[in-house]
Chain A
Amino acid sequence: MNIVAVTACPAGVAHTYMAKKGLEKAAKKLGHKIKVETQGSMGIENEIKVKDLEKADLVIFAVDTKVEKANRFDDKTIHEVPVAAAVKNATKVIEDATAKL
């Protein structure tokens, strides 16, 4: 399955990137492809582009703050969790998200 995800936390220096790592590891373990965009204190990095979205089956938001340019994802199935959930147990986040489809 092709997944795209956005991570963001208030300070934007640690949780954002830990959640990205967690999601990438968990996706690999479960055999999914994932691209994770971070919205930290440096702004948007590894941005999810239109061509990524065309392929994406599912969107995960692991965020404690507002998602920038959220309208990109309007017609997709979105699974939203606090950023801490993806840090602690990203596998469960992905499993819950795929169960939504």
Chain B
Amino acid sequence: MWKEAKKHLMTGVSYMIPIVVAGGILLSLGVIIGDDTSMGEQLVNYGVWTLGLMVPVIAGYISYSIADRPGIAVGLASGVFAAELGTGYIGGILVGFFAGWITNQLKKIPMHPNIAVIKPIMVIPVLGIGASAIFMWLISIPLAPAMTGLENWLNSLDGNNLLILGFIIGAMMAFDMGGPVNKIALAFCYATLAEGIYAPMAACWIGIMAAPLGLSLATLLFPKKFSKSEKGNAIPAALMGSLGITEGAIPYAVATPLKVIPVITIGSGIGGGLALMLGAESPIPAAIGIWGLPFVNGPFMLLIGLLVAVAIIAITVGFLRKESDVDDSEDAELSF
């Protein structure tokens, strides 16, 4: 049950990512140019419009994942309700699941073959969207104030609280190197981004990049403690890391999981916490890696956090690993 739900959520996230990247970059380009110029103002507008698709698309494609093609229309419309009623991303996810479920129920309505054709073009969209509207209205009663509260709380965080928030996000991002825990943290950062809270995404950046960068640095600093294929993997891993792909770290974690995973988790957490405490914020999603650095607020603070995390990871993994861990005979099954 949980496994299925996770799959639907991940499908929604995967369709949403390109939209957030494009919208976020348009928006921040506009902010950089200056939204008092006409060019900048236009870019901000187009960015905001693109980002407006975020909640409808996640709801639409969760619903698609559950109910296939008929679920898309019901989910997209429900997502618009979620956004308009002020329940944001969380509301979009919930109503996406409802939309998929109700679509599946409506598919089962028995109908005479002569009029069966109206089922996909009339019955499912109309009744499905109608039911989702009622559901959305009901859950918005508690959810909208809760979202406003969460927003205010996140906005009021400072100092040590930001450190803790940054630590948790950085650690979750690195922990499974692009797996489900990573995507849950990423989804949270998207949610806050949609509400105009930019700090969590900055920690997200560090959690994504620090592990592959730190591990490839470790192969340079401690060449005797890594196998041939691991050293050969250093450049691809560093490149992937700098492009915002944590998965480059996986081959190292496969070889000696206990000497890698705790280190990258804690190291990335510290870096994320530090950057947030120093005031780094990112209005664009962490999907383009280091190349997005010019678009963040406080790029220097983010860089400090990243470098600290990379250094902690490289040095600690180097010390924990023994030369006896190197196994050139059974070359790791993974290389790029």
Contacts and interface: CB of A to CB of B under 8 A. Distances in A.
Q: Do A and B come from one complex?
A: yes
Interface of A: 9-15, 18, 21-22, 25-26, 41, 63-66, 82, 84, 87-91
A87 B178 CA distance: 12
Contacts of A91: 333
Interface stretch (B13-21, B165-173, B301-309, B313-321): B13-21
Q: Is the interface of B mostly helix, strand, loop or mixed?
A: helix
Contacts of A65: 7, 10-11, 14, 65
B195 interface: no
B178 A14 contact: yes
Contact of A64 (B10, B250, B287, B336): B10
Given A10-B183, A22-B333, A87 B13 contact: no
Nearest to A12: B14
Given A18-B247, A22-B333, A25-B333, A41 B179 contact: no
Contacts, number: 63
A64 B179 CA distance: 9
B10 A18 contact: no
22 contacts: A9-B10, A9-B14, A9-B178, A11-B183, A11-B245, A14-B245, A15-B178, A15-B247, A18-B250, A18-B336, A21-B334, A25-B333, A63-B7, A64-B7, A64-B180, A65-B10, A65-B65, A66-B8, A82-B180, A84-B179, A88-B254, A89-B333
Contacts of B11: 10, 65-66
A14 to B, nearest CB: 4
A26 B7 contact: no
A25 B8 CA distance: 29
Contact of A11 (B64, B178, B250, B334): B178
Contacts of B8: 66
A85 to B, nearest CB: 11
Contact of A13 (B7, B64, B245): B245
Nearest to A90: B333
Contacts of B64: 66
Contacts of B17: 10-11, 41
Contacts of A84: 176, 179
Interface in B167-196: 176, 178-180, 183
A14 B247 contact: yes
A9 B13 CA distance: 10
B287 to A, nearest CB: 8
Interface in B258-297: 287
B240 interface: yes
Contacts of A26: 333
B18 A66 contact: no
Contacts of A66: 7-8, 11, 64-65
A58 B67 CA distance: 26
B334 A87 contact: yes
Nearest to B66: A66
A84 B333 CA distance: 14
A10 B333 contact: no
Interface string B61-76: 0001100000000000
A87 B335 CA distance: 11
B335 to A, nearest CB: 8
A87 B76 CA distance: 33
Nearest to B335: A21
A87 to B, nearest CB: 6
B63 to A, nearest CB: 11
A94 to B, nearest CB: 12
Given A14-B247, A64-B10, A66-B11, A41 B18 contact: yes
Interface in B230-254: 240, 245, 247-248, 250, 254
A95 to B, nearest CB: 14
Interface in B120-138: none
Contacts of B247: 14-15, 18
A12 B13 CA distance: 11
